[in-house]
């Protein structure tokens, strides 16, 4: 059983990466082989509208035909059992690198037929992990759940299942005194880091374990 985690954050050891690694640890309990990929290490583009994946009889029908650093990763995901995708939330959505990755991952498997069809031949148990500086109440007010829920919906359509984990009001800086961020109380941020983030880590662990157990 193969579990792949995709880190869409520019930071490799901070909130998003920590939760992804916890999810991988949970999957490993049930025998999954683990791998984490940092998107910011790769050079690639989002969908370039070449439509090679839609060309009738073409060699890339049903898969992304554009070649760059993302190509071997997409091929590896196609044979995975568990896929975890994590991203911090910037301006109410995932990072640009995560968005470009999702375009390349998901668009080729959908058809322009009537009715639309899914060309992915198997199933992948998938989970989405989001970290954000805002509190849950503000995320709801600003429509984050409705917007980000679309990612879960499309992953379900393509791979058969998906679920999401949200981590709110995250600790953003090593030292709040060094940055201009007066709207945040560093003591409250530190308290939440100590008390709430470990709970989120446990939820991520349980997410990974659940996805692996469902594959068992």
| CB of 4 closer than 8 Å to CB of 82 | yes
Query: Is residue 216 predicted with pLDDT exceeding 70?
Result: no
Q: Return the pLDDT at 213.
A: 87
Tokens 């196609």, residue located: 78
Q: Average pLDDT in the 87-111 region?
A: 96
pLDDT digits (tens, 9 = 90+) for 4-34: 999 999 999 999 999 999 999 999 999 989 9
* Domain total in the chain: 1
**pTM, to two decimals:** 0.94
Distance CA 16, CA 32 (A): 20
Q: Average pLDDT in the 182-198 region?
A: 91
Q: What is the CATH number of the domain that holds 175?
A: 3.40.50.360
Distance CA 114, CA 158 (A): 16
Q: How confident is the model at residue 108 (pLDDT cuts 50, 70, 90)?
A: very high
Strands 82-90 and 93-94 turn out to be antiparallel
Distance CA 132, CA 200 (A): 12
Which residue range forms the structural domain that includes residue 19? 2-215
Q: Which residues pair with 37 in a beta bridge?
A: 6
Using DSSP's 3-state secondary structure scheme, residue 198 falls into helix
| CB of 208 closer than 8 Å to CB of 24 | yes
């Amino acid at each position: 059983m193969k579990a792949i985690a995709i880190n869409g954050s520019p930071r490799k050891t901070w909130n998003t990466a920590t939760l992804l690694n916890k999810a991988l640890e949970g999957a490993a309990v049930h025998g999954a082989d683990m791998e984490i990929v940092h998107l910011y290490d790769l050079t690639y583009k989002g969908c370039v509208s070449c439509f090679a994946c839609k060309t009738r009889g073409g060699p890339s029908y049903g898969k992304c035909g554009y070649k760059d650093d993302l190509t071997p990763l997409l091929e590896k995901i196609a044979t995975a059992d568990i896929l975890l995708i994590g991203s911090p939330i910037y301006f109410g959505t995932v990072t640009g690198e995560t968005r470009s990755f999702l375009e390349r991952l998901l668009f080729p498997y959908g058809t322009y037929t009537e009715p639309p069809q899914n060309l992915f031949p198997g199933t992948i148990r998938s989970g989405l992990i989001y970290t954000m500086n805002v509190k849950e109440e503000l995320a709801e007010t600003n429509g984050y759940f409705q917007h980000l829920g679309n990612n879960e919906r499309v992953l379900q359509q393509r791979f058969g299942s998906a679920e999401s984990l949200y981590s709110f009001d995250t600790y953003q800086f090593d030292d709040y005194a060094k940055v201009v961020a007066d709207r945040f109380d560093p003591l409250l941020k530190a308290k939440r880091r100590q008390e709430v983030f470990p709970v989120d880590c446990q939820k991520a662990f349980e997410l990974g374990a659940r996805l692996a157990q469902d594959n068992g």
